[in-house]
Structure 1
Amino acid sequence: MLPIPNLDDRMFEEMLQEARKSIPKLYPQWTDENAHDPGMTLLELMSWMTEMQQYYLNRVTEKNERKFLKLLGVRQREAASAVCEVVFSGMDEQLVLPQGTPLQAMDQQFETLQTLRLIPARLEKVIVRTETSAGDYTSNNDAGVAYYAFGPKAQKGAHLYLGFDRPLPEQTEIALTIKLFEDYPVAKGGHVHEEQEAFVSSAQVAWTYAGSGSKGRAEAWHPLEVVSDGSLHLSQSGELLFKVPSDMQPILLYPADDKPRVWICCTLEIEGYELAPKIQKLCLNSVKAMEQTTFSEVSTFDSSGEPGQSFTVSSYLAYTGLHTIQVQEQDGFWRDWSTVSELSACGPDDFCCEMQQDSASRTTRIRFGDGKHGSIPPQGADCVRLIAYTAEFDYGRLVGSSNGLPGQTFELPRGRTYKLGSMLLQVGRRPKGSDSVVWDDWQSVDDFDNSSSTDRHYVYDAAAGLIRFGNNEAGLIPPKMTEPNIRFLALQAGGGDRGNVKDGMVAAFTNGHPDWSGITMTNPFPARGGAEAESLEEAKLRAQIELNAPTRAVTAEDYEAIAKATPGLRVARVKAIPLYKPGLRDYPKVKAPAQMTVAVVPYSENDKPTASQGYLETVRRHLDRHRLLTTELHVIPAAYIKVTVHAVVVVEPQYKQDAQRVLRELRQLLQPMDHRNGTEGWRFGRTVYKGDIYGVISRLKGVVYVQDIWLDAEGTGMYRDAGGDIQIPPYALVYSGDHEVELISQTDL
């Protein structure tokens, strides 16, 4: 970083004295330097002005710092809304909760993020069966206590059975939320959704259900129709969306054989998990909810230009709120269309449409005319809009009317944190020769620096609660109108750490409905992700971190840092070996140009964590997005060398029977990683010197001296040198064998 010079390095008195000393040389005829002389007054004035200029030149204001951050591509983050899972129960029949259904958590409002079909079924039993055992984990699942989905070893053929009190509806999309235990010492790198296509699961599961059998059999297991698997074969928390193709058959299943139940089964078909999946919660009838309040929202549709088009929206606000229909004309502006009860009353040139609502599915449907009864929307992408807003926001969505002057500002209601990403603002104008108002979309920008005189831009100042417009040089001025012509089409409020409510706090509907009486809800886990708007200091700190984070894999350190950040994986250790490819001998004497080999160690509870092929392929695909084009990349699992220590140790008499102390220290030294805290163990490729063993034993209390040590080793690529030390390959780690330690009392010598 370049040093920042201090421009304000001279004080007023210093500049004044320097000027006075220059008078005899520059103006010998100036002999009166007393304070009453007008020339001295001018010198004092100039010195003061120079000092002020230096002060402002040396001062970096918050405005300057924001501009510097903008040059780095960093902007302050707005307040983030908390998200939680909400589970519903107590339904007697199938119901639909549309997207955006408001829920209450004391004084905080949450809204569902997707439409949910509530199924009147209850998860009664959770059974895990392996080749050697069968266990009932229903109480664990109800209490949110983690349990292994396929046992601690997760071997092929293990089953996870889920028993329900009644058959699940056929040919209906059903969501099963899977929450895995995530509290491990090594965190996952990023979010797998960022590179969903690059993730390859280490194992593979199959979902089946108990249904009617064939050829005289009472029941049989049939495959479920999996629509989507957000858990990626139980590799992460996510949502399983499935359909039951045919009727389900109640059966008895040990050890839950008290009564027949309907079952679905998850079978581990291909093993290979680095970390056996532990389930914390399985939830039916659950949906994500976000802390926010929607005042107005927009649903867009593509128009084919054909007669009789219809569009359907599944949204709470579209079903319960007020509506405005907009269609985009060929010239790019938007026109409001009216809604009528019957299209038959409309003429061929009338801008009207018909609206219907389905109470069973909570959907809203709009239908346009055929050119005889009602006009046809022109063909185009995203050129039809359904704007839905609350009755309370009917007047509040009007921001104001433009006076046609530059630099106009409009104040928004205080006390709420508005989401910039949800804002959609329109400005109306009346074309020449027309009595109707048409509308144009305006875009939100951080500032007017890059705005031209024709750009429809505005700035939302969250701190001041203002909307600012341009001056016809930087940003267009909204056209003048006497009636309100600036309005919001979409607006949401929310965000802040107050939304991180505790578990069990989301407990009621904000607006009750007769069909929802008797339905109970809860959030089994606390809401997460709520944060206040980022301060300038926080943004500066984040900019430093992001600038230091590698985005291109050039050096070995770059490869290691990027590999550890592989989305969806817990990468415990990485070793990048430049100019090496698998199978190369006599490295580093012999090198392979343009080759990079990366050895990875997954976090695991095993003594020798070994990466599966899916794990290695996921790391390779992630690194492949960042490597140089001329570099050939190889991702391999770390090799393990078994090292066994044979030692004769002389100790004080009272420690003669305490050989376990020595064995514990040797196992602590010779291990690939410390599973208790996820820290690294033996360094990749480091020679196992006898001196290391001497040192760790000699430090123990009661050890007089080490009489003799010799080392044995097993593994590919290792060898013992002339001094008895174990040389291992650069991609290898060591682990402990069955050490043999003989303790001799000092008095026996």
Structure 2
Amino acid sequence: MSLPSPNLDDRRFQQFVDDAKRYIQQRAPEWTDHNVSDPGVTLVETVAHMADQIVYRLNRVPDKNHLAFLDLVGITLFPPSAARTDVTFWLSAPQEETVAVPVGTEVATTRTERDEAVVFATERGLDIVPTALSHLVVQRQGGPVTDRTTELAEGKDLLCFSEAPEPGDCMLIGLTAAAPHCALALELDSRVDGVGVDPRQPPLSWEAWTEDGWQPCEVDRDGTGGLNRPGDIVLHLPEGHVLSRNGGHEAGWVRCRVTEPLSGQPFYTTSPTIRSAEAYTVGGTTRAVHAETVRDEALGESTGLPGQRLRLAHTPVVADSPPVLLQTATHEGWHDWEVVPHFASSRPDDPHITLDGATGEVAFGPSVRESDGTLRQYGAVPPKGAVIRARRYRTGGGRSGNVARHAVKVLRTSIPYVGEVVNREAARGGVDGETVEEAKLRAPITLRAQERAVTLRDYEELARRAAPETARITCLEGEEGEHGAYAVRVLVVPQAVPDPGGRLRF
């Protein structure tokens, strides 16, 4: 990295020439020919050129010294943070077999004439599990459940709730299989009986049974207008959706619960009814990060000497687990190396390396001479001639990943039966890498605080180091507590990305 430094002498070539000519008029007034053709002026210009070169080199001395000082105290530039968002994979049609979306599946925004595509990769695998409706039961205000599965199969009209619905009434739908992270479509044939409500804002809450109890489901769309007309309801099931037993039946349960009406919200006067119902999965959602995955990148061969440094071809490196998987090849096969923040606690046989995420530099452990003259090795050294490769790492990050919702819609990795991909919420958390100017401001604070918070600014710096994706952090002095100890308040403003039009969605 390079540090801008103050000019110790800001004069340039022409200024040296002009100053010399003014001195000539004072010291040698008999010299009247100051044209370029004069041999004396040629000599003046030659000396001015050499002086200009000396000043240029002199001004670079603080730059080099500042870099060396930051290196001695262990100050390195923070790499950029990667934005993350939930990406939904929609199936082209319901499937009878599980559709697997592997880890590292790449999706991207649309490439335009001015902007390159922003690539995201899934952080975990997703299984879009097929499921179907197996049971339908009704529960009134937390009382015993009544099985209506047989009546539904006979095509009878069933009341979803009590004849006069009250908050707490539930209609429970049992699925043949649990479908965590999946998008569930409910195809309901409803009659216009549940009158009195606003179809755009019915007093209903859709929930799914998880390991932690009933959890809310996100309603993607409701074509029934609050169970008042035939249509489809698409729900996004939570992460912990599991099979459970209810009313003597084991199933993956989803329920529609009548809630307390809000102020001015219309309520049901009569219960809606359904004549038929079907359920099937139409997609799934998983987490994606703004990064591209690089695999099996050759870095060269080992010299067998301590402190060897190699550089990755793609930078910056996004924080991952592990951030980079380095391997060396020997006659016994490939061996993995672990990324550590430093070599202070590394033993001579520990396969440890350090990684500078901003520059992509990988370093093996050094050999340090102790006070008694012996050499101590920090971290293992790969044998001479061993082939070194980066098995896997991710590169990307920055503010460019903070894309708006519905911007990610290109599937770069082909997956059978997946017809569409979209991010339903804006991507957040992308922060550009630290600049040299910011590192210059951080260095004195780091040296003063040393991972301890004493002043208000120390608290701000430690909080910013823990969450670099925040927009603003301010520490305010608190009041004295009951035991005489003072407390501080750290105010954090998270980074938010406005939707097109300049509005924030809450």
* Structure number with larger C-alpha Rg: 1
TM-score range, shorter chain: 0.3 to 0.5
TM-score normalised by L of structure 2: 0.46
TM-score normalised by L of structure 1: 0.33
Q: Which has the higher contact order (CA 8 A, sep 6+)?
A: 2
